[in-house]
């Protein structure tokens, strides 16, 4: 055993580590935490893929059965509609906004509410805008004390 290791052992026994030991331990712990974070992120991504497949199945079942929700003893799944508007061509959108004094459409993104209003009024999507509706699935746990007939 070297003098340095004896000194380190003695410091550690009495709770006085040196700076090199602290930095070494810190870096090992940080690396370990990064590995754990990476593994957790991968596990989360795997679960997200499974959840997306389950949502797709629920959408398919709802479509086949002509319903918009399912209530079970384990929870309720229901379809939701979410509008979206994003810009396909900024030059076209900005020209349109300027030429039509439609500045209410302009945010850091186009305002989906203003775009929806324009579509309802003009029966057309403004130039340069992609507009659509996305159907999603939400699943909730049953309310405490709620009962569902099987």
Query: Over 80: is that where the pLDDT of 138 sits?
Result: no
What pLDDT digit, counting tens, does each position of 5-44 carry? 776 777 777 777 777 777 888 888 999 999 999 999 999 9
Say if CB 77 and CB 58 are below 8 A apart. yes
Domain ranges of the chain: 1-67, 68-143
DSSP H/E element including 78: strand 75-87
Confidence (pLDDT) at 148: 54
- Global confidence as pTM: 0.55
Strands of 129-140's sheet, edge to edge? 69-72, 75-87, 129-140
Q: Taking 60 as the threshold, does the pLDDT of residue 75 lie above it?
A: yes
User: What does pLDDT average to over the chain?
Assistant: 88
> What whole-number distance in Å separates Cα of residue 140 and Cα of residue 77?
7
Q: Which residues contact 105 (CB under 8 A, 6 or more apart)?
A: 93, 97, 111, 114, 115, 118, 126
Burial class (CB in 10 A: 0-12, 13-18, 19+), 55: middle
Q: Report the percentage of the chain scoring pLDDT > 70.
A: 94
What would the pLDDT profile of 48-69 be if each residue is shown by its tens digit? 999 999 999 999 999 999 999 9
Q: Where are the alpha helices (DSSP H) in the chain?
A: 3-13, 19-65, 90-99, 112-122
Predicted pLDDT of residue 150:
44
**pLDDT one-digit tens code per residue, 100-121:** 999 998 887 889 999 999 999 9
């Amino acid at each position: 055993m070297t003098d340095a290791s004896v000194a380190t052992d003695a410091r550690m026994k009495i709770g006085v580590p040196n700076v090199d030991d602290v930095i070494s331990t810190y870096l090992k712990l940080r690396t370990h935490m990064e590995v754990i974070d990476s593994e957790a992120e991968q596990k989360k991504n795997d679960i997200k893929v499974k959840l997306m497949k389950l949502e797709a199945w629920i959408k398919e079942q709802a479509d086949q059965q002509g319903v918009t929700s399912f209530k079970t003893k384990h929870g309720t799944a229901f379809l939701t509609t979410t509008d979206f508007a994003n810009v396909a061509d900024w030059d076209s959108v900005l020209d349109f906004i300027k030429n039509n004094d439609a500045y209410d459409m302009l945010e850091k993104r186009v305002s989906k509410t203003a775009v929806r209003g324009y579509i309802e009024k003009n029966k057309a999507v403004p130039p340069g805008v992609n507009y659509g509706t996305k159907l999603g699935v939400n699943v909730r746990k049953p309310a405490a004390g709620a009962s569902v007939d099987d």
